[in-house]
Copies of this chain bind each other. A is one copy, B any other.
Amino acid sequence: MNRARLRAAVLLLFVSSATTAGQSGAPPAAVMGFAPERAATQREREARFDASVATADLRGWVQRMTARPHHLGSPYGRANAEFMAELFRSWGFETRLEEFQVLFPTPITRVVELVAPTTYRASLSEPPLKEDATSALVGEQLPVYTAYSIDGDVTAEVVYVNWGVPADYEELERRGIDVKGKIVLARYGGSWRGIKPKAAAERGAVGCLIYSDPREDGYVHGDPYPTGGWRSDRSAQRGSVMDMPIHPGDPLTPGVGATADAKRPAFTEADTLTKIPVLPIAAADALPILKALGGPMAPPAWRGALPLPYRLGPGPAKVHLKVAFDWKLVPAVNVVARMRGAELPEQWVVRGNHHDAWVFGAADPVSGMAAVLAEARALGELASTGWRPRRTIVYAGWDGEEQGLLGSTEWAEYHAADLRAKAVAYINSDSNSRGFLDVGGSHSLERFVNETAGSVRDPVKGMSVGARMLSRLVIDGSPTERALARDRRHFELDPLGSGSDYTPFLQHLGVPSLNVGFGGEGDYGQYHSIYDSFDHYTRFMDPDFAYGRTLAQFAGRLVMRLADADVLPFEFTRSAAAIAKYAGEVRELADTLRGEAAERARRLDDGVYDAVARPGAIVRPPKPLDAVPFLEFAPLQNAVNRLEAAATAFEAAAAARPGGAAGLPAAARAEVDALLMQCDRALVDERGLPGRPWFRNQVYAPGLYTGYGVKTLPAVREAIEQRQWREAGTQIANVAATIEDYAARIDRVAARLK
């Protein structure tokens, strides 16, 4: 077949598969990776699995695990780990608690006080509410603070910096405002919180306050808790501010497991602590400071929803910020439960969720953790009837996720060699509520995810969760997304940045990963607050745990199908499409920046900024931008072409065989599996990303200045964004080589299929 015919054939196959996995309600005939004669058995097993997932279990586990604070290092955190371990064991899993010793500072002193022009001492506390039973358990609660802030005691004028991301400082500079020697007041949102003190410190600020503006998750969205589910002005967001885009995990043991005997520097040597002291505050604590700010009005997009004119300062508001921490090591207690594969025990399907919370954490993380338990229980029931998975299934409950993915990272680092050799995929969840399927991850699993989403029923809508997602894309999606949804009944996976425990697997080790959950219809104004509680969850998030059950059914299918497939259900046309899209984006980014630099130069020459500036208001013209050279993108374009060809050839080879790859003899299938497992590993470059060697994946990374937000083709994209033109050229070549390697591995699988 010539290439055009190959494509047409593949497309037909693809459409047909996606359609059967779609809306009809009748059970689809095919299951990706399964020989036709085994697909029906699998479907039947899934029906039994579904029946074993009970919302009463979910409710019970969530209530039990959120009864007391259970953060990293807490007594109840360990109790939860032991409770879960007992459950896993009772369901037939080989279960261990795997502990690491991690740095975890907790506060000794916390002071935020306005000292001029008026005075106000911030409460830094969230009051108990009679409508929220656990809120009164104040004894064990972690107070309102941000972990991995350094100790500090500073008094300085305040500058309001919006989100506190680099672009915001350009706006401040145009207004003649320098944060050197100042305390910045940033609002939550616009980036991961850890970026805010990082960007502030880079510009000489001496302290950082981060507050929750009601525009983000407060009364703008609905009634504040406890009347409604949204954040009240007394609710604050705890969180980590470690420099996670450099590396997550224990700050003292980057790259290796934080075992008791690991080599550790003094904590002050850790490279992911902040450079300045930081505290988060509630809106009620921010209000007096914002009111006391003078200076020019903040740009319109910077204005939040508090009833006042948002001004930039600096001052006259002056704040005293003092924090001191107990810099101790604590155990991070991971729960790891295995069900050994009957046929391919050295192929592992890993499924995890963290179990630690900032305080009670009903949504984050227990709603997700409970789904994991429900899956394990249902698999245990299947096992009790004689079933055994072909591959090994590993269930994990991670500790210390909130501080910086500590438990998962240390475990992945410690077991790196095994995981590189054996991990088929890692499937993560974190929080869950009613709403839409939300799934991101490795695009080699995109078609598999689509098919699986088409087989799980939304608990409210009488259609599959995949079909509901497609409907949403018809209404809210980009033109491309809408066309895919309509014409192919297909949705794309979001690429993953960071913010949960998939990061060590995907971005450090190159294990194909997914992050799954439901959401968008909970009233979630309690992120990292004491009010993320059982009471809140059962009123505003997923009152009947229907979507908890759906998550277990969806993620459970992913696990079972990956574990039992005759051949692993990877395919690469969607990877190739995604990478082609990202390659197009970085080329377009360079063109956009080139046009922007030329336009700005022209405007500066013509004096239009000065002409337009409001007299008396100090808004300086922006600085000139260095001209953008044309970059040599050809290697990347060629690599993408080769990848597309390889992906198409692989599909055609599979399609040419009756029953697809699953129709091969067992020995051949094992060989194909082994090759397939290693395809996405090619995306890892052992040298890592520029300046942050821990992050090795060349397609997916969190942004250096977004923190959670993904940067695809990060080495190239960030070099361009940071205007490092020579580095961009180097990285284009590097990334092209990585993609060529990826294509070569796919070619090898295709060759084996012929």
In the complex, 6 of the A-B residue pairs with CB atoms within 8 angstroms, ordered by the A residue number, are A220-B303, A222-B309, A228-B309, A307-B307, A471-B608, A472-B608
Q: Are B297 and A222 in contact (CB under 8 A)?
A: yes
Q: Are A221 and B309 in contact (CB under 8 A)?
A: yes
Candidate in A219, A230, A609 with the most chain B CB atoms within 10 angstroms = A219
Neighbour of A307 across the interface among B219, B221, B463, B612, CB < 8 A: B219
Q: Are B475 and A603 in contact (CB under 8 A)?
A: yes
**Min CB distance, A120 to chain B, in Å?**
18
- Assuming the contacts A305-B305, A307-B214, asked whether A461 and B219 have C-beta atoms less than 8 A apart, the reply is no
Q: Are B308 and A221 in contact (CB under 8 A)?
A: no
A223 contacts the other chain (CB 8 A): yes
Q: What is the bound-complex CA distance between A335 and B482, given in angstroms?
A: 62
Produce 1/0 per residue, A575-606, CB < 8 A to B. Answer: 00000000000000000000000000001001
Neighbour of A603 across the interface among B219, B474, B607, CB < 8 A: B474
**Min CB distance, A484 to chain B, in Å?**
14
**Min CB distance, A333 to chain B, in Å?**
38
**Min CB distance, A547 to chain B, in Å?**
10
Q: Are A606 and B474 in contact (CB under 8 A)?
A: yes
Q: What is the bound-complex CA distance between A614 and B606, given in angstroms?
A: 52
Q: What is the bound-complex CA distance between A475 and B220, given in angstroms?
A: 32
**Min CB distance, A203 to chain B, in Å?**
26
Which residue of chain B has the shortest Cβ distance to A294 in the bound complex?
Answer: B223
A468 contacts the other chain (CB 8 A): yes
Q: What is the bound-complex CA distance between A196 and B219, given in angstroms?
A: 27
A449 contacts the other chain (CB 8 A): no
Count of chain A residues with a beta carbon within 8 Å of a chain B beta carbon: 37
Which residues of A does B touch, CB under 8 Å?
A: 214, 219-224, 228, 230, 297, 303, 305-309, 434, 460-461, 463, 467-468, 471-472, 474-475, 521, 603, 606-612, 614-615
**Min CB distance, A619 to chain B, in Å?**
12
- Give the residues in chain B near A474, CB-CB below 8 Å: 603, 606, 608
**Min CB distance, A136 to chain B, in Å?**
26
Q: What is the bound-complex CA distance between A603 and B472, given in angstroms?
A: 11
Q: What is the bound-complex CA distance between A48 and B608, given in angstroms?
A: 30
Q: Are A611 and B468 in contact (CB under 8 A)?
A: yes
Neighbour of A306 across the interface among B307, B467, B608, CB < 8 A: B307
- Give the residues in chain B near A224, CB-CB below 8 Å: 309
- Give the residues in chain B near A611, CB-CB below 8 Å: 461, 463, 467-468, 471-472
**Min CB distance, A91 to chain B, in Å?**
32
**Min CB distance, A500 to chain B, in Å?**
25
Neighbour of A614 across the interface among B463, B521, B609, CB < 8 A: B521
Q: What is the bound-complex CA distance between A148 and B434, given in angstroms?
A: 50
Which residue of chain B has the shortest Cβ distance to A607 in the bound complex?
Answer: B471
Q: Are A606 and B471 in contact (CB under 8 A)?
A: yes
- Give the residues in chain B near A610, CB-CB below 8 Å: 461
- Give the residues in chain B near A471, CB-CB below 8 Å: 606-608, 611-612
Q: What is the bound-complex CA distance between A472 and B613, given in angstroms?
A: 9
Q: Are B615 and A461 in contact (CB under 8 A)?
A: yes
Q: Are B612 and A475 in contact (CB under 8 A)?
A: yes
- Give the residues in chain B near A434, CB-CB below 8 Å: 615
Q: Are B308 and A612 in contact (CB under 8 A)?
A: no
- Assuming the contacts A603-B475, A607-B471, asked whether A615 and B309 have C-beta atoms less than 8 A apart, the reply is no
Candidate in A214, A223, A228, A611 with the most chain B CB atoms within 10 angstroms = A611
Q: Are A615 and B307 in contact (CB under 8 A)?
A: no
- Assuming the contacts A475-B612, A611-B463, asked whether A219 and B606 have C-beta atoms less than 8 A apart, the reply is no
- Give the residues in chain B near A609, CB-CB below 8 Å: 475
Q: What is the bound-complex CA distance between A468 and B607, given in angstroms?
A: 10
- Give the residues in chain B near A303, CB-CB below 8 Å: 220
Q: What is the bound-complex CA distance between A328 and B187, given in angstroms?
A: 56
Q: What is the bound-complex CA distance between A463 and B606, given in angstroms?
A: 12
Neighbour of A472 across the interface among B219, B221, B612, B615, CB < 8 A: B612
Q: Given A220-B309, A472-B611, A472-B612, 12 other A-B contacts at CB below 8 A?
A: A214-B307, A219-B309, A221-B297, A221-B309, A228-B309, A306-B307, A307-B307, A460-B615, A474-B603, A475-B609, A475-B612, A521-B615
Q: What is the bound-complex CA distance between A426 and B606, given in angstroms?
A: 35
Which residue of chain B has the shortest Cβ distance to A310 in the bound complex?
Answer: B220
**Min CB distance, A537 to chain B, in Å?**
17
- Give the residues in chain B near A308, CB-CB below 8 Å: 219
**Min CB distance, A459 to chain B, in Å?**
9
Q: What is the bound-complex CA distance between A491 and B463, given in angstroms?
A: 55
**Min CB distance, A461 to chain B, in Å?**
6
- Give the residues in chain B near A223, CB-CB below 8 Å: 309
Q: What is the bound-complex CA distance between A223 and B294, given in angstroms?
A: 10
**Min CB distance, A543 to chain B, in Å?**
10
Candidate in A474, A521, A609 with the most chain B CB atoms within 10 angstroms = A474
